[in-house]
Copies of this chain bind each other. A is one copy, B any other.
Amino acid sequence: MTNSVSPLQAARAAYQPKLPKVLAESGPNVVAAEGAPTTSVADNESIQRLFPKSYGLPVVTFQAGVGKATQALSVGVILSGGQAPGGHNVIAGLYDGLKKISPNSNLYGFLGGPSGLTENQYVKFDDAFINAYRNTGGFDIIGSGRTKLEKEEQFATVVQNCKALNITGLVVIGGDDSNTNACMLAEYCAKNNTGIKVIGCPKTIDGDLKNEWIEASFGFDTASKVYSELIGNIERDANSAKKYWHFIKLMGRSASHIALECALQTHPNIALISEEVEAKKMTLREIVEEIATAVKKRADAKKDFGIVLVPEGLIEFIPEMKTMIAELNDLLADPYFNGLNDDDDKHQFLNKKMGAGSAQAFNTLPGGIQRQLMMDRDPHGNVQVSRIETEKLLIDLVGDLLNEWKAKGHYKGKFSGQNHFFGYEGRCAAPSNFDADYCFSLGYTAAALLGAGKTGYLSSIRNLTKTADQWVAGGIPLTMMMNIERRHGKEKAVIKKALVELDGKPFLAFAEKRAAWATEDAFLYPGPIQYFGPASVCDRPTETILLERS
Protein backbone atom coordinates (compact mmCIF):
# COMPACT_ATOMS: atom_id res chain seq x y z
CA MET A 1 0.00 0.00 0.00
CA THR A 2 1.31 3.42 -0.97
CA ASN A 3 -1.77 4.94 0.67
CA SER A 4 -1.80 6.94 3.79
CA VAL A 5 -5.15 6.62 5.56
CA SER A 6 -7.88 9.16 6.24
CA PRO A 7 -8.70 10.24 9.82
CA LEU A 8 -11.87 8.12 9.73
CA GLN A 9 -9.94 5.05 8.57
CA ALA A 10 -7.39 5.60 11.33
CA ALA A 11 -10.13 5.84 13.96
CA ARG A 12 -12.07 2.96 12.49
CA ALA A 13 -9.09 0.61 12.43
CA ALA A 14 -9.45 0.25 16.20
CA TYR A 15 -13.02 -1.04 16.00
CA GLN A 16 -13.37 -4.60 17.30
CA PRO A 17 -16.28 -6.26 15.47
CA LYS A 18 -18.79 -8.04 17.65
CA LEU A 19 -19.33 -11.82 17.51
CA PRO A 20 -22.23 -14.08 18.51
CA LYS A 21 -21.91 -14.93 22.21
CA VAL A 22 -20.85 -18.56 21.79
CA LEU A 23 -17.97 -17.61 19.47
CA ALA A 24 -17.00 -14.54 21.50
CA GLU A 25 -16.74 -16.57 24.66
CA SER A 26 -15.38 -19.88 23.41
CA GLY A 27 -13.66 -19.12 20.09
CA PRO A 28 -14.26 -21.04 16.87
CA ASN A 29 -13.67 -24.53 18.24
CA VAL A 30 -17.14 -25.17 19.62
CA VAL A 31 -19.72 -27.91 19.27
CA ALA A 32 -21.26 -28.18 15.80
CA ALA A 33 -24.79 -29.35 16.66
CA GLU A 34 -26.52 -31.02 13.74
CA GLY A 35 -30.19 -30.94 12.86
CA ALA A 36 -32.13 -33.43 10.77
CA PRO A 37 -31.23 -34.17 7.13
CA THR A 38 -32.40 -31.40 4.80
CA THR A 39 -34.03 -31.17 1.39
CA SER A 40 -33.77 -28.61 -1.39
CA VAL A 41 -36.26 -25.78 -1.91
CA ALA A 42 -37.47 -27.68 -4.99
CA ASP A 43 -36.45 -30.38 -7.49
CA ASN A 44 -35.05 -32.61 -4.76
CA GLU A 45 -34.40 -35.61 -6.94
CA SER A 46 -32.45 -33.70 -9.54
CA ILE A 47 -30.41 -31.88 -6.92
CA GLN A 48 -29.67 -35.12 -5.10
CA ARG A 49 -28.58 -36.74 -8.38
CA LEU A 50 -26.27 -33.83 -9.16
CA PHE A 51 -24.91 -33.52 -5.62
CA PRO A 52 -24.89 -37.04 -4.12
CA LYS A 53 -22.25 -36.08 -1.53
CA SER A 54 -23.56 -32.66 -0.58
CA TYR A 55 -27.31 -33.24 -0.69
CA GLY A 56 -29.30 -33.71 2.50
CA LEU A 57 -26.67 -32.48 4.96
CA PRO A 58 -28.01 -31.26 8.30
CA VAL A 59 -28.17 -27.61 9.35
CA VAL A 60 -25.29 -26.91 11.74
CA THR A 61 -25.58 -24.65 14.78
CA PHE A 62 -22.62 -23.81 16.98
CA GLN A 63 -23.10 -24.34 20.69
CA ALA A 64 -20.93 -23.95 23.77
CA GLY A 65 -18.53 -26.83 24.34
CA VAL A 66 -15.30 -28.06 22.86
CA GLY A 67 -15.26 -29.00 19.17
CA LYS A 68 -13.08 -31.17 16.99
CA ALA A 69 -10.61 -28.63 15.67
CA THR A 70 -7.31 -29.86 17.02
CA GLN A 71 -4.74 -28.87 14.45
CA ALA A 72 -3.57 -25.93 12.37
CA LEU A 73 -5.47 -25.41 9.10
CA SER A 74 -4.26 -24.07 5.78
CA VAL A 75 -7.08 -22.29 4.01
CA GLY A 76 -7.54 -20.31 0.79
CA VAL A 77 -10.06 -17.55 0.23
CA ILE A 78 -11.44 -15.75 -2.83
CA LEU A 79 -13.68 -12.76 -3.41
CA SER A 80 -16.02 -13.40 -6.31
CA GLY A 81 -18.16 -11.00 -8.34
CA GLY A 82 -19.16 -7.41 -7.61
CA GLN A 83 -17.83 -5.50 -4.64
CA ALA A 84 -19.86 -5.33 -1.42
CA PRO A 85 -19.02 -3.48 1.81
CA GLY A 86 -17.53 -5.80 4.42
CA GLY A 87 -15.59 -8.25 2.27
CA HIS A 88 -12.38 -7.34 4.06
CA ASN A 89 -13.99 -8.12 7.41
CA VAL A 90 -15.02 -11.59 6.26
CA ILE A 91 -11.37 -12.25 5.53
CA ALA A 92 -10.30 -10.69 8.86
CA GLY A 93 -12.82 -12.85 10.75
CA LEU A 94 -11.67 -15.95 8.89
CA TYR A 95 -8.04 -15.11 9.66
CA ASP A 96 -8.70 -14.49 13.35
CA GLY A 97 -10.77 -17.68 13.61
CA LEU A 98 -8.08 -19.81 11.97
CA LYS A 99 -5.34 -18.29 14.13
CA LYS A 100 -7.43 -18.93 17.21
CA ILE A 101 -7.77 -22.59 16.22
CA SER A 102 -3.98 -22.65 15.96
CA PRO A 103 -1.36 -19.91 15.64
CA ASN A 104 0.20 -22.15 13.00
CA SER A 105 -2.84 -21.96 10.72
CA ASN A 106 -2.26 -20.31 7.34
CA LEU A 107 -4.57 -18.18 5.23
CA TYR A 108 -3.89 -17.63 1.53
CA GLY A 109 -5.76 -15.05 -0.52
CA PHE A 110 -6.17 -15.92 -4.20
CA LEU A 111 -5.95 -12.84 -6.39
CA GLY A 112 -8.47 -11.33 -8.76
CA GLY A 113 -11.37 -13.63 -8.00
CA PRO A 114 -11.90 -17.27 -9.02
CA SER A 115 -9.23 -17.01 -11.73
CA GLY A 116 -6.65 -16.61 -8.96
CA LEU A 117 -7.40 -20.19 -7.94
CA THR A 118 -6.91 -21.63 -11.40
CA GLU A 119 -3.94 -19.42 -12.25
CA ASN A 120 -2.37 -20.00 -8.83
CA GLN A 121 -1.97 -16.30 -8.05
CA TYR A 122 -2.01 -15.77 -4.30
CA VAL A 123 -0.69 -13.96 -1.27
CA LYS A 124 -0.18 -15.29 2.25
CA PHE A 125 -1.70 -13.16 4.97
CA ASP A 126 -0.02 -12.09 8.17
CA ASP A 127 -1.14 -9.83 11.02
CA ALA A 128 0.14 -6.57 9.52
CA PHE A 129 -1.46 -7.31 6.16
CA ILE A 130 -4.86 -8.12 7.68
CA ASN A 131 -4.75 -5.23 10.17
CA ALA A 132 -4.41 -2.70 7.36
CA TYR A 133 -7.79 -3.78 6.00
CA ARG A 134 -9.94 -4.28 9.10
CA ASN A 135 -13.30 -2.45 8.91
CA THR A 136 -12.50 -0.96 5.50
CA GLY A 137 -14.60 -1.02 2.33
CA GLY A 138 -13.57 -2.42 -1.01
CA PHE A 139 -12.26 -5.73 -2.26
CA ASP A 140 -8.80 -4.36 -2.96
CA ILE A 141 -7.14 -6.62 -0.39
CA ILE A 142 -6.96 -9.39 -3.01
CA GLY A 143 -9.24 -8.08 -5.77
CA SER A 144 -12.25 -9.85 -7.23
CA GLY A 145 -13.32 -11.18 -10.59
CA ARG A 146 -16.17 -12.71 -12.53
CA THR A 147 -14.55 -15.83 -13.97
CA LYS A 148 -16.97 -18.72 -13.56
CA LEU A 149 -15.51 -21.74 -11.80
CA GLU A 150 -17.82 -24.51 -12.99
CA LYS A 151 -15.92 -27.00 -15.13
CA GLU A 152 -14.28 -30.24 -14.00
CA GLU A 153 -10.93 -29.29 -15.53
CA GLN A 154 -10.98 -26.01 -13.61
CA PHE A 155 -11.74 -27.91 -10.42
CA ALA A 156 -8.85 -30.28 -11.07
CA THR A 157 -6.47 -27.34 -11.45
CA VAL A 158 -7.81 -25.78 -8.26
CA VAL A 159 -7.23 -29.00 -6.34
CA GLN A 160 -3.72 -29.28 -7.71
CA ASN A 161 -2.90 -25.70 -6.72
CA CYS A 162 -4.38 -26.18 -3.27
CA LYS A 163 -2.45 -29.39 -2.67
CA ALA A 164 0.80 -27.64 -3.51
CA LEU A 165 0.10 -25.28 -0.61
CA ASN A 166 -1.30 -27.97 1.70
CA ILE A 167 -4.62 -26.15 1.60
CA THR A 168 -7.47 -28.25 2.96
CA GLY A 169 -10.16 -25.59 3.07
CA LEU A 170 -11.47 -23.00 0.63
CA VAL A 171 -13.79 -20.10 1.41
CA VAL A 172 -15.72 -18.55 -1.47
CA ILE A 173 -17.13 -15.10 -0.73
CA GLY A 174 -19.75 -14.49 -3.39
CA GLY A 175 -23.34 -14.20 -4.55
CA ASP A 176 -25.83 -16.86 -5.61
CA ASP A 177 -23.94 -17.94 -8.74
CA SER A 178 -20.55 -18.05 -7.01
CA ASN A 179 -21.99 -20.11 -4.17
CA THR A 180 -23.70 -22.46 -6.61
CA ASN A 181 -20.26 -23.03 -8.11
CA ALA A 182 -18.75 -23.36 -4.63
CA CYS A 183 -21.17 -26.23 -4.06
CA MET A 184 -20.12 -27.87 -7.33
CA LEU A 185 -16.50 -27.56 -6.22
CA ALA A 186 -17.35 -29.02 -2.79
CA GLU A 187 -19.07 -31.94 -4.48
CA TYR A 188 -16.11 -32.48 -6.83
CA CYS A 189 -13.65 -32.41 -3.92
CA ALA A 190 -15.73 -34.86 -1.88
CA LYS A 191 -16.30 -37.21 -4.79
CA ASN A 192 -12.61 -37.33 -5.57
CA ASN A 193 -11.52 -37.66 -1.94
CA THR A 194 -9.29 -34.61 -2.21
CA GLY A 195 -9.63 -33.77 1.48
CA ILE A 196 -10.47 -30.18 0.54
CA LYS A 197 -13.54 -28.63 2.17
CA VAL A 198 -15.45 -25.71 0.64
CA ILE A 199 -17.46 -23.09 2.56
CA GLY A 200 -19.37 -20.14 1.07
CA CYS A 201 -20.20 -16.70 2.49
CA PRO A 202 -23.32 -14.83 1.30
CA LYS A 203 -22.31 -11.58 -0.43
CA THR A 204 -24.23 -9.14 -2.59
CA ILE A 205 -25.45 -5.59 -2.17
CA ASP A 206 -28.50 -6.55 -4.25
CA GLY A 207 -30.00 -8.45 -1.31
CA ASP A 208 -31.18 -11.31 -3.52
CA LEU A 209 -29.23 -14.07 -1.78
CA LYS A 210 -31.50 -14.76 1.18
CA ASN A 211 -34.04 -17.32 2.26
CA GLU A 212 -35.52 -18.90 5.31
CA TRP A 213 -32.05 -19.59 6.70
CA ILE A 214 -29.95 -16.78 5.30
CA GLU A 215 -31.48 -13.59 6.64
CA ALA A 216 -29.35 -11.20 4.58
CA SER A 217 -26.38 -11.10 2.25
CA PHE A 218 -23.62 -8.83 3.47
CA GLY A 219 -23.14 -5.38 1.97
CA PHE A 220 -26.86 -4.73 1.48
CA ASP A 221 -27.04 -2.87 4.80
CA THR A 222 -24.18 -0.47 4.03
CA ALA A 223 -24.89 0.06 0.34
CA SER A 224 -28.58 0.77 0.82
CA LYS A 225 -27.72 3.22 3.61
CA VAL A 226 -25.26 5.10 1.38
CA TYR A 227 -27.88 5.37 -1.37
CA SER A 228 -30.49 6.42 1.19
CA GLU A 229 -28.16 9.14 2.49
CA LEU A 230 -27.93 10.53 -1.04
CA ILE A 231 -31.63 10.15 -1.78
CA GLY A 232 -32.45 11.93 1.49
CA ASN A 233 -30.09 14.78 0.61
CA ILE A 234 -31.70 15.11 -2.81
CA GLU A 235 -35.19 15.00 -1.29
CA ARG A 236 -34.24 17.84 1.02
CA ASP A 237 -32.92 19.76 -1.98
CA ALA A 238 -36.09 19.10 -3.97
CA ASN A 239 -38.15 20.28 -1.02
CA SER A 240 -36.01 23.41 -0.69
CA ALA A 241 -35.67 24.42 -4.35
CA LYS A 242 -39.18 23.20 -5.22
CA LYS A 243 -38.50 23.06 -8.94
CA TYR A 244 -37.18 19.63 -9.95
CA TRP A 245 -38.36 16.08 -10.21
CA HIS A 246 -35.35 13.88 -9.48
CA PHE A 247 -35.34 10.45 -11.12
CA ILE A 248 -32.87 8.27 -9.24
CA LYS A 249 -31.81 4.92 -10.66
CA LEU A 250 -30.43 2.43 -8.16
CA MET A 251 -28.15 -0.53 -8.78
CA GLY A 252 -29.78 -3.96 -8.79
CA ARG A 253 -30.61 -5.56 -12.13
CA SER A 254 -32.38 -8.73 -11.14
CA ALA A 255 -34.16 -7.72 -7.93
CA SER A 256 -35.52 -4.46 -6.52
CA HIS A 257 -34.61 -5.00 -2.87
CA ILE A 258 -32.35 -1.93 -2.91
CA ALA A 259 -35.05 0.32 -4.37
CA LEU A 260 -37.57 -1.02 -1.85
CA GLU A 261 -35.21 -0.65 1.12
CA CYS A 262 -34.26 2.89 0.06
CA ALA A 263 -37.95 3.73 -0.32
CA LEU A 264 -38.62 2.51 3.22
CA GLN A 265 -35.69 4.60 4.47
CA THR A 266 -36.51 7.82 2.60
CA HIS A 267 -40.24 7.92 1.68
CA PRO A 268 -39.96 9.12 -1.92
CA ASN A 269 -43.01 10.17 -3.91
CA ILE A 270 -42.69 7.17 -6.20
CA ALA A 271 -40.63 4.00 -6.12
CA LEU A 272 -40.95 1.53 -8.97
CA ILE A 273 -40.51 -2.13 -8.07
CA SER A 274 -39.59 -4.36 -11.01
CA GLU A 275 -41.23 -7.46 -9.56
CA GLU A 276 -44.56 -5.62 -9.34
CA VAL A 277 -44.24 -4.31 -12.90
CA GLU A 278 -43.72 -7.87 -14.08
CA ALA A 279 -46.50 -9.34 -11.97
CA LYS A 280 -48.98 -6.74 -13.17
CA LYS A 281 -47.68 -7.02 -16.74
CA MET A 282 -47.37 -3.25 -16.90
CA THR A 283 -46.51 -1.55 -20.17
CA LEU A 284 -43.99 1.27 -20.37
CA ARG A 285 -46.90 3.56 -21.21
CA GLU A 286 -48.69 2.55 -17.99
CA ILE A 287 -45.59 3.21 -15.90
CA VAL A 288 -45.19 6.61 -17.52
CA GLU A 289 -48.87 7.38 -16.92
CA GLU A 290 -48.56 6.41 -13.28
CA ILE A 291 -45.63 8.78 -12.78
CA ALA A 292 -47.23 11.57 -14.80
CA THR A 293 -50.43 11.27 -12.77
CA ALA A 294 -48.46 11.77 -9.56
CA VAL A 295 -46.64 14.74 -11.09
CA LYS A 296 -49.98 16.26 -12.11
CA LYS A 297 -51.54 15.74 -8.67
CA ARG A 298 -48.61 17.42 -6.97
CA ALA A 299 -48.65 20.22 -9.56
CA ASP A 300 -52.32 20.80 -8.74
CA ALA A 301 -51.18 21.31 -5.13
CA LYS A 302 -48.48 23.75 -6.37
CA LYS A 303 -45.71 21.21 -5.87
CA ASP A 304 -43.67 20.99 -9.04
CA PHE A 305 -41.07 18.76 -7.45
CA GLY A 306 -40.60 15.21 -6.30
CA ILE A 307 -38.53 12.06 -6.16
CA VAL A 308 -38.84 8.87 -8.23
CA LEU A 309 -36.76 5.77 -7.49
CA VAL A 310 -36.08 3.48 -10.44
CA PRO A 311 -34.51 0.00 -10.11
CA GLU A 312 -31.72 -0.62 -12.60
CA GLY A 313 -33.35 -3.70 -14.10
CA LEU A 314 -36.78 -2.15 -14.71
CA ILE A 315 -36.75 -2.33 -18.52
CA GLU A 316 -36.19 -6.08 -18.51
CA PHE A 317 -39.22 -6.61 -16.26
CA ILE A 318 -41.64 -4.82 -18.60
CA PRO A 319 -43.11 -7.69 -20.63
CA GLU A 320 -43.34 -5.82 -23.96
CA MET A 321 -39.73 -4.62 -23.57
CA LYS A 322 -38.47 -8.07 -22.67
CA THR A 323 -40.06 -9.47 -25.83
CA MET A 324 -38.77 -6.57 -27.90
CA ILE A 325 -35.23 -7.05 -26.61
CA ALA A 326 -35.35 -10.79 -27.35
CA GLU A 327 -36.56 -10.15 -30.91
CA LEU A 328 -33.98 -7.41 -31.34
CA ASN A 329 -31.19 -9.78 -30.29
CA ASP A 330 -32.21 -12.19 -33.04
CA LEU A 331 -32.60 -9.52 -35.72
CA LEU A 332 -29.30 -7.82 -34.91
CA ALA A 333 -27.59 -11.10 -35.71
CA ASP A 334 -29.08 -11.11 -39.23
CA PRO A 335 -26.30 -10.64 -41.82
CA TYR A 336 -28.66 -8.59 -44.00
CA PHE A 337 -29.19 -6.13 -41.15
CA ASN A 338 -25.47 -5.90 -40.55
CA GLY A 339 -24.90 -5.19 -44.23
CA LEU A 340 -27.09 -2.08 -44.07
CA ASN A 341 -25.25 1.21 -43.74
CA ASP A 342 -28.05 3.65 -43.30
CA ASP A 343 -29.80 4.19 -39.96
CA ASP A 344 -33.14 4.63 -41.69
CA ASP A 345 -32.77 1.39 -43.59
CA LYS A 346 -31.82 -0.44 -40.41
CA HIS A 347 -34.77 1.03 -38.64
CA GLN A 348 -37.18 0.05 -41.42
CA PHE A 349 -35.79 -3.46 -41.51
CA LEU A 350 -36.33 -3.89 -37.77
CA ASN A 351 -39.78 -2.38 -37.98
CA LYS A 352 -40.80 -4.78 -40.69
CA LYS A 353 -39.37 -7.88 -39.04
CA MET A 354 -40.38 -7.35 -35.42
CA GLY A 355 -43.77 -8.33 -34.09
CA ALA A 356 -46.23 -5.44 -34.01
CA GLY A 357 -46.03 -5.15 -30.22
CA SER A 358 -42.26 -5.07 -30.26
CA ALA A 359 -42.16 -2.61 -33.13
CA GLN A 360 -44.42 -0.30 -31.20
CA ALA A 361 -42.37 -0.74 -28.03
CA PHE A 362 -39.20 0.03 -29.97
CA ASN A 363 -40.73 3.15 -31.48
CA THR A 364 -41.86 4.37 -28.06
CA LEU A 365 -38.19 4.92 -27.27
CA PRO A 366 -36.50 8.23 -28.04
CA GLY A 367 -34.35 8.25 -31.19
CA GLY A 368 -31.08 8.36 -29.28
CA ILE A 369 -31.90 5.19 -27.37
CA GLN A 370 -33.09 3.44 -30.56
CA ARG A 371 -29.76 4.26 -32.18
CA GLN A 372 -27.89 3.04 -29.10
CA LEU A 373 -29.75 -0.27 -29.14
CA MET A 374 -29.03 -0.76 -32.84
CA MET A 375 -25.35 0.14 -32.57
CA ASP A 376 -23.88 -0.84 -29.20
CA ARG A 377 -23.71 -4.51 -28.57
CA ASP A 378 -21.95 -6.63 -25.99
CA PRO A 379 -19.24 -9.16 -26.90
CA HIS A 380 -21.96 -11.78 -27.58
CA GLY A 381 -23.71 -9.47 -30.05
CA ASN A 382 -26.57 -8.81 -27.67
CA VAL A 383 -28.33 -5.55 -27.08
CA GLN A 384 -26.72 -3.71 -24.15
CA VAL A 385 -29.81 -3.27 -22.02
CA SER A 386 -27.78 -2.00 -19.10
CA ARG A 387 -26.70 0.94 -21.24
CA ILE A 388 -30.25 2.24 -21.49
CA GLU A 389 -30.45 5.22 -19.21
CA THR A 390 -33.87 4.27 -17.86
CA GLU A 391 -33.98 7.30 -15.58
CA LYS A 392 -33.53 9.65 -18.55
CA LEU A 393 -35.93 7.64 -20.69
CA LEU A 394 -38.64 8.06 -18.05
CA ILE A 395 -37.99 11.80 -17.69
CA ASP A 396 -38.30 12.12 -21.45
CA LEU A 397 -41.50 10.10 -21.76
CA VAL A 398 -43.17 11.64 -18.69
CA GLY A 399 -42.33 15.10 -20.09
CA ASP A 400 -43.90 14.20 -23.43
CA LEU A 401 -47.07 12.92 -21.82
CA LEU A 402 -47.38 15.98 -19.59
CA ASN A 403 -47.02 18.16 -22.67
CA GLU A 404 -49.89 16.25 -24.28
CA TRP A 405 -51.98 16.84 -21.16
CA LYS A 406 -50.97 20.49 -21.07
CA ALA A 407 -52.16 20.96 -24.67
CA LYS A 408 -55.52 19.54 -23.62
CA GLY A 409 -55.64 21.75 -20.53
CA HIS A 410 -55.42 18.83 -18.10
CA TYR A 411 -52.09 19.86 -16.59
CA LYS A 412 -50.83 23.30 -15.71
CA GLY A 413 -47.55 22.63 -13.86
CA LYS A 414 -43.90 22.92 -14.82
CA PHE A 415 -42.00 19.65 -15.16
CA SER A 416 -38.23 19.66 -15.06
CA GLY A 417 -36.32 16.42 -14.48
CA GLN A 418 -32.89 15.71 -13.05
CA ASN A 419 -31.37 12.24 -13.41
CA HIS A 420 -29.06 10.32 -11.08
CA PHE A 421 -27.66 6.81 -10.97
CA PHE A 422 -26.19 5.37 -7.79
CA GLY A 423 -24.26 2.14 -7.77
CA TYR A 424 -20.48 2.48 -7.55
CA GLU A 425 -21.04 5.07 -4.80
CA GLY A 426 -22.09 2.38 -2.33
CA ARG A 427 -20.39 -0.90 -3.26
CA CYS A 428 -17.10 -0.06 -1.58
CA ALA A 429 -18.19 2.14 1.30
CA ALA A 430 -16.63 1.31 4.66
CA PRO A 431 -18.99 -1.24 6.25
CA SER A 432 -21.60 -0.03 8.73
CA ASN A 433 -21.31 -1.41 12.25
CA PHE A 434 -23.87 -4.02 11.22
CA ASP A 435 -21.92 -5.17 8.16
CA ALA A 436 -18.59 -4.93 10.01
CA ASP A 437 -19.92 -7.25 12.73
CA TYR A 438 -21.91 -9.49 10.40
CA CYS A 439 -19.03 -9.98 7.99
CA PHE A 440 -16.47 -10.60 10.71
CA SER A 441 -18.85 -13.18 12.22
CA LEU A 442 -19.41 -14.83 8.83
CA GLY A 443 -15.67 -15.21 8.34
CA TYR A 444 -15.10 -16.42 11.88
CA THR A 445 -17.93 -18.93 11.45
CA ALA A 446 -16.41 -20.13 8.17
CA ALA A 447 -13.23 -20.91 10.15
CA ALA A 448 -15.34 -22.76 12.72
CA LEU A 449 -17.08 -24.78 9.99
CA LEU A 450 -13.73 -25.76 8.48
CA GLY A 451 -12.46 -26.59 11.96
CA ALA A 452 -15.46 -28.88 12.37
CA GLY A 453 -14.61 -30.56 9.07
CA LYS A 454 -17.70 -29.31 7.22
CA THR A 455 -17.96 -28.84 3.46
CA GLY A 456 -20.71 -27.69 1.10
CA TYR A 457 -22.05 -25.20 3.62
CA LEU A 458 -22.84 -21.51 3.54
CA SER A 459 -21.60 -19.69 6.62
CA SER A 460 -24.68 -18.52 8.45
CA ILE A 461 -25.43 -15.93 11.10
CA ARG A 462 -29.05 -15.68 12.16
CA ASN A 463 -31.24 -13.65 14.53
CA LEU A 464 -29.76 -10.52 12.94
CA THR A 465 -32.34 -8.05 14.21
CA LYS A 466 -31.09 -8.68 17.76
CA THR A 467 -27.82 -7.42 19.21
CA ALA A 468 -24.76 -9.34 18.03
CA ASP A 469 -24.36 -11.32 21.26
CA GLN A 470 -27.75 -12.93 20.52
CA TRP A 471 -26.80 -13.88 16.99
CA VAL A 472 -26.81 -17.58 16.11
CA ALA A 473 -23.81 -18.95 14.19
CA GLY A 474 -23.72 -22.06 12.06
CA GLY A 475 -23.85 -23.44 8.55
CA ILE A 476 -26.58 -24.08 5.99
CA PRO A 477 -26.11 -26.82 3.36
CA LEU A 478 -25.74 -25.11 -0.02
CA THR A 479 -27.92 -27.74 -1.67
CA MET A 480 -30.75 -26.79 0.66
CA MET A 481 -31.16 -23.45 -1.18
CA MET A 482 -31.06 -24.95 -4.64
CA ASN A 483 -33.58 -25.61 -7.35
CA ILE A 484 -33.45 -26.25 -11.08
CA GLU A 485 -33.69 -23.20 -13.36
CA ARG A 486 -33.33 -22.61 -17.06
CA ARG A 487 -30.15 -20.60 -17.69
CA HIS A 488 -28.89 -19.84 -21.20
CA GLY A 489 -31.27 -22.46 -22.59
CA LYS A 490 -30.13 -25.24 -20.24
CA GLU A 491 -31.50 -26.73 -17.03
CA LYS A 492 -29.12 -25.95 -14.21
CA ALA A 493 -29.05 -26.53 -10.47
CA VAL A 494 -28.72 -23.10 -8.90
CA ILE A 495 -29.28 -21.34 -5.62
CA LYS A 496 -32.71 -19.80 -5.85
CA LYS A 497 -32.56 -16.04 -6.23
CA ALA A 498 -34.70 -14.08 -3.79
CA LEU A 499 -36.80 -11.50 -5.59
CA VAL A 500 -39.03 -8.96 -3.85
CA GLU A 501 -42.10 -10.84 -2.68
CA LEU A 502 -45.25 -8.88 -3.33
CA ASP A 503 -46.91 -10.52 -0.34
CA GLY A 504 -43.87 -10.02 1.87
CA LYS A 505 -43.89 -7.59 4.77
CA PRO A 506 -41.41 -5.06 3.31
CA PHE A 507 -43.40 -4.64 0.09
CA LEU A 508 -46.71 -4.55 1.97
CA ALA A 509 -45.39 -1.86 4.33
CA PHE A 510 -44.37 0.18 1.29
CA ALA A 511 -47.63 -0.47 -0.58
CA GLU A 512 -49.61 0.71 2.42
CA LYS A 513 -47.82 4.07 2.53
CA ARG A 514 -47.05 4.91 -1.04
CA ALA A 515 -50.28 6.70 -1.92
CA ALA A 516 -49.68 9.13 0.93
CA TRP A 517 -46.00 9.53 0.04
CA ALA A 518 -46.94 10.36 -3.57
CA THR A 519 -48.92 13.47 -2.70
CA GLU A 520 -47.66 14.53 0.74
CA ASP A 521 -44.09 15.58 1.50
CA ALA A 522 -43.24 12.68 3.76
CA PHE A 523 -39.55 12.68 2.88
CA LEU A 524 -37.26 11.15 5.49
CA TYR A 525 -33.59 12.19 5.66
CA PRO A 526 -31.44 9.33 7.03
CA GLY A 527 -28.10 11.16 6.73
CA PRO A 528 -24.72 9.45 6.42
CA ILE A 529 -23.76 6.17 8.12
CA GLN A 530 -22.48 6.86 11.64
CA TYR A 531 -19.90 4.66 13.29
CA PHE A 532 -19.50 6.22 16.73
CA GLY A 533 -22.83 7.71 17.87
CA PRO A 534 -25.85 6.45 19.82
CA ALA A 535 -26.98 2.87 19.10
CA SER A 536 -30.32 4.14 17.74
CA VAL A 537 -28.33 5.71 14.91
CA CYS A 538 -25.34 3.39 14.50
CA ASP A 539 -26.73 -0.08 15.00
CA ARG A 540 -30.13 0.00 13.33
CA PRO A 541 -30.39 -2.77 10.71
CA THR A 542 -32.24 -2.31 7.43
CA GLU A 543 -35.99 -1.73 7.34
CA THR A 544 -36.25 -4.85 5.17
CA ILE A 545 -34.82 -7.20 7.77
CA LEU A 546 -36.68 -5.48 10.61
CA LEU A 547 -39.95 -6.04 8.76
CA GLU A 548 -39.09 -9.56 7.68
CA ARG A 549 -37.74 -10.84 10.98
CA SER A 550 -39.23 -8.87 13.82
Contact = CB atoms under 8 A, between A and B. Distances in A.
Interface string A518-539: 0011111111111111101100
Contact of A537 (B7, B240, B524, B525): B7
Contact of A140 (B5, B229, B239): B239
Nearest to A82: B241
Contact of A138 (B237, B265, B529, B536): B237
Contacts of A427: 233, 237
Interface in A431-485: none
A418 interface: yes
A110 interface: no
A530 B532 contact: yes
A428 interface: yes
Interface in A390-443: 418, 420, 424-430
A137 B237 CA distance: 9
A140 B2 contact: no
Nearest to A231: B425
A233 B426 contact: yes
Contact of A6 (B2, B11, B428, B527): B527
A527 B144 contact: no
A246 interface: yes
B2 A526 contact: no
A240 B521 contact: no
A72 to B, nearest CB: 30
Interface in A533-547: 533-534, 536-537, 540
Interface in A1-44: 2-12
A143 interface: yes
A139 B428 contact: no
Given A7-B540, A530-B530, A530-B531, A424 B525 contact: no
A230, A237, A242, A537: most-surrounded residue (chain B CB, <10 A): A237
Interface string A231-254: 011101101111010100000000
Q: How large is the interface on A (under 10, 10 to 19, 20 to 34, 35 or more residues)?
A: 35 or more
A98 interface: no
Nearest to A10: B536
Contacts of A425: 230, 233-234, 420
A332 interface: no
Contacts of A3: 521-524
A530 B532 CA distance: 8
A368 interface: yes
A239 B524 contact: no
A4, A112, A230: most-surrounded residue (chain B CB, <10 A): A230
Nearest to A6: B526
Contacts of A12: 527
Given A233-B429, A425-B233, A525 B140 contact: no
B532 A532 contact: yes
Given A140-B239, A140-B240, A428-B233, A531 B529 contact: no
A84 to B, nearest CB: 10
A533 B536 contact: no
Contacts of A239: 138, 140
A528 B229 contact: yes
Contacts of A106: none
A254 to B, nearest CB: 19
B242 A520 contact: no
B530 A83 contact: no
A279 to B, nearest CB: 30
Contacts of A139: 240-241
A226 interface: yes
Interface of A: 2-12, 82-83, 112, 136-140, 143-144, 226, 229-230, 232-234, 236-237, 239-242, 244, 246, 265, 368, 418, 420, 424-430, 520-534, 536-537, 540
16 contacts: A6-B265, A7-B537, A11-B536, A83-B236, A83-B237, A138-B237, A140-B240, A233-B424, A233-B426, A233-B428, A233-B429, A418-B424, A430-B525, A528-B528, A531-B533, A532-B537
Q: What are the 6 A-B residue pairs with the smallest beta carbon separation, nearest first? A: A532-B533, A528-B528, A236-B428, A138-B236, A8-B527, A139-B240
